[in-house]
A and B are shown apart, each in its own frame.
Chain A
Amino acid sequence: MLNYQFDWSIITSGKYFDWLVAGLITTLKLSAISIVLAFVLGLVIAVMRMAHNKPVRWFAHAYLEFFRNTPLLVQIFFWYFGSYKILPAVVNDWLVSTNFEFAAAVIALTIYTSAFIAEDIRSGILSIPKEQMEASRSAGFSYLRSMQYIILPQAVRITIPPLVNQFLNLAKNSSLAMTIGVMEMTYQARQVESYTFKGFEAFTAATVVYLVLSILITTLVNTYNEKVLNLHKAA
């Protein structure tokens, strides 16, 4: 270890640099797509979890328990290897011709994270005074429309801190996608390491990328949050 020769140039230029950049872009794409989908799905599951209709409520409850309490890695493998077995051949052929690893990773990250997001949003919804629902119902909005225009916008706003956490978790968890061959940041760092034996440099680069990504997400959400919240703060 003491004889280890640091060589940062390997990762700052040339082929290996290109690999790392490709990994970075894949990680960004994977995280961004999954965050948006997980947020939307989380909203839907949260509303279903509070529905008056019992089967709907139970379905959402089972969904939450199931996906929060099984390891993400198993879920990634499930969508990658498992769904492959139960889908018709035509669909499979089409999937293989597309970027199936990426799709499986998006599905797994989305569903897994949506379960956590749904729970956070549900507690947000519960903290909105019931009079808000009464006011919107008496204005003539249906239950779902009331959720859409009155309750969820308020619930999401107070749920922002836990939501940021879930987004960060998702971005970090996206590194597990390498296990099914998605060529994201960690995968590429590993590749660079095995070609160059410069593991320290490669994984330092990956670490910095995840750190910057986390800071980016936090800043983005907080900026949005402050802009919106400042608008209706007490004078």
Chain B
Amino acid sequence: MITFSGVHKWFKQLHVLNDINLHVTPGEVLVVCGPSGSGKSTLIRTINQLEPINQGSLVVDGMDLSDKKIDINKLRAEVGFVFQQFNLYPHLSVIGNITLAPIKIRNTPKKEAEEQAMQLLTRVGLAEKRDAYPSQLSGGQQQRVAIARGLAMRPKIMLFDEPTSALDPEMIGEVLQVMQDLAKTGITMVVVTHEMGFAREVADRVVFMADGVILEEAAPEDFFLRPQHERSRQFLRQLLTPMQAECS
């Protein structure tokens, strides 16, 4: 579904992605973690070409992103993206946010698009918010609307870039629950997150990145119980210690 082969990317001098080789199979849920600044956002943003790559090859849903002739807008319509800061359209209502792309890009009739949007809103538990504006919603609600907005295009792939990092702790659960339900539907998911509980329960595979390099790639139980790399062990220690202190 997604294949990175020898992918490199630079921001000027900064080597943000260094020889990335990664294959995501259809229906797989892949969690990407690693310290801040390690290139996780850049990695996930190359998948829908929000960031173009400089070297190597990246094939997404059969489309070679280094091929200038592909219709990038068509690919992006097949790939949902959920941002850390939600990025809902503030001038549109919840239903307007969800139906805009289906109506304007897929030419779905308005009524049909709204029916479909209501199904999605019900799924994320926000049916009663259809006419609210983003500024009237909590962070957790906004993020759930953002997920519904992404799903409205019936994507084959959903990308999440730290979807719960901007949320108050009490709202993280509701968003993770929606993502967990989504994972069961068989959609391909790439999730950048530090929510290790989610990774353990939902992920098929965990990728650990540091300094633009994939250091480790393992099944969740292996990654958490037998991290191979010193950097991973360090990362997990740092992540788990304050969290356990907070939870207990």
Contact = CB atoms under 8 A, between A and B. Distances in A.
Identify the interface centre among A139, A142, A232, A234: most chain B CB within 10 Å of its CB.
A139
B90 A137 contact: no
Contact of A142 (B73, B78, B153): B73
Interface string A60-73: 00000000000000
A138 B76 contact: yes
A233 B101 contact: no
Interface residues of A, number: 22
Interface size class of B (residues with CB under 8 A): 20 to 34
Contacts of B150: 139
Nearest to A135: B87
21 contacts: A131-B83, A134-B50, A135-B83, A136-B89, A137-B50, A138-B50, A139-B81, A139-B153, A140-B73, A140-B101, A140-B153, A141-B104, A142-B73, A149-B104, A153-B91, A154-B90, A154-B91, A232-B134, A234-B135, A234-B136, A235-B132
Contacts of A134: 50, 83, 87
Interface in A136-186: 136-142, 145, 149-150, 153-154, 157
A83 interface: no
A231 interface: yes
- The list of the 3 closest CB pairs from A to B, nearest first, reads A140-B77, A232-B133, A135-B87
Contact of B89 (A132, A138, A140): A132
A217 B81 CA distance: 42
Given A140-B74, A140-B101, A141-B105, 20 more contacts: A131-B87, A135-B83, A136-B89, A138-B48, A138-B50, A139-B100, A139-B105, A139-B153, A140-B73, A140-B105, A142-B73, A149-B104, A150-B89, A231-B93, A231-B133, A232-B91, A232-B92, A232-B93, A232-B133, A234-B135
B104 A135 contact: no
Interface in B77-109: 77-79, 81, 83, 85, 87-93, 100-101, 104-105
Interface in B138-177: 149-150, 153
